[in-house]
Amino acid sequence: MTPLALAEDYIFAHDLRSASAKIYLAATKALIKNFGPVIEATEIDHRSILAWRKKVLENGLSKRSWNTYSNHLRTIWGYGIEHGILTGVTANPFKKTTVIPPKRASKTVAGDAIQKARRWLESLADSERYTGERSRITPAWFWLATFEMFYYTGIRLNALLCLRLQDIDWDRQLILVRGDTEKTHREFYVPIMDGLAPHILRMLTEAKHAGFSPGDQLFNVNRFSRHYKRQEMNIDQIEAMYRKLTEKLGVRMTPHRFRHTLATDLMRQPERNIHLTKSLLNHSNIATTMGYIEADYDHMRSVLHERSLAQGAVQRVRRVDYSGAPSSSAAPHHEEQRQPPEKLLIENAQGIACQTPETRIVPAGSEHPGHLSIIDSSTPTPPPEHLFEPTMLFSLLASQIRPAALGGKGGMHADAFAARASP
């Protein structure tokens, strides 16, 4: 059996969306382009796939595109092996042929960019309403509703194009997304939020005036403006609108980026409900949802700070003072110098100061509680007094050493003491 015949058999045996079927066929055609149209599927082995991979990657194919080929062809070959179509083949030649792609750039859209886009669309809608003249994105009210639909629901582009008038349950404030439009083949509902409701109501009102039937495509700009001649709205028209937004604002916007943005924003909420996010995006597993959520470093910093507070670690880190101003409680013989903010002083678990070179502690009471406080100094500073509690023995020894060290006759000589003290 040829690779193309195997791919067609797989598509026939599965309930795939047309878009998914095209991806499987595209991967198969890429394989045929490399191995030739007459090669049998059973003749392709693991090493030949690795050689193909090396060739296409060196010729500039992205690692993500290669992984798409590898994953889809592995699925097709797995189907052939499982059902005995590829006789004599026991190991899938595409197993472990994917590569590690580079990290994707951020796919979220900043909140201020979304606000600017919304205000621009609102201004276009107001201009059309009051002047009657066609705006750059027309009809602006329709494209504003489309924009808000993607923002509030994170719905897939294909799912929005497949929404019918009958899929809007206005009484229950729900939108039905049918399973045959989804990758997961599962139908689900999306709630109509307060911010989205006026736009959906406008859409329903305009659709009624235009004589829509229950089964008609709801988000169909061609039915709401005489400037369009198509029967149904397609992906190209939506992408053209988002290109204009991108050109206007200088920030790339797409419906799929709104899905990533929604997932990330939901996980920044106090509840951080991953299951809610998974349900809203209609993912089949949480791992897919986690791939949509970008790291929130502000939240990460806050959580780590809370941990240090709970464990008392933050009390051992004091604020750095770079003002150079003398402290009232500082010892008079120490000179303070300004240094770049490069050094930190942290006390270890035994309470002993671990001090980096050319640093000293700001005296107690001169800093705010809970902050780091270090002043760089070229003059070494003795350890804080509270770290030493002289014992009676130490005091007696010190009293005997002092006269001898000063040349007196009483007491033990310093050299003798040092000799006795040494092990």
Out of 72, 74, 156, 199, pick the active-site residue. 156
Query: Which tokens in the block code for residue 245?
Result: 């937004």
Out of 72, 278, 283, 318, pick the active-site residue. 283
Tell me the C-alpha distance between 64 and 46, whole Å: 19
Tell me the C-alpha distance between 332 and 303, whole Å: 41
Contact by Cβ (8 Å): 366, 379: no
Give just the sign of the alpha carbon dihedral 223, 228, 233, 238. negative
Give the 3-state secondary structure of residue 182.
coil
**Does the annotation count 103 as an active-site position?**
no
On the question of a cis peptide bond just before residue 332, with omega within 30 degrees of 0, the verdict is: no
Contact by Cβ (8 Å): 260, 277: no
**Does the annotation count 156 as an active-site position?**
yes
Out of 17, 118, 134, 183, pick the active-site residue. 183
Out of 24, 260, 292, 360, pick the active-site residue. 292
**Does the annotation count 189 as an active-site position?**
no
Distance from the Cα of residue 294 to its chain's centroid: 1
Out of 259, 260, 318, 360, pick the active-site residue. 259
Tell me the C-alpha distance between 422 and 387, whole Å: 24
Tell me the C-alpha distance between 21 and 11, whole Å: 6
Out of 256, 257, 316, 319, pick the active-site residue. 256
Contact by Cβ (8 Å): 11, 58: no
Name residue 323's amino acid.
S
Name residue 415's amino acid.
D
Q: What residues contact residue 412 under an 8 Å CB cut-off, 6+ apart?
A: 400, 401, 404
Residues annotated as catalytic are 156, 183, 256, 259, 283, 292
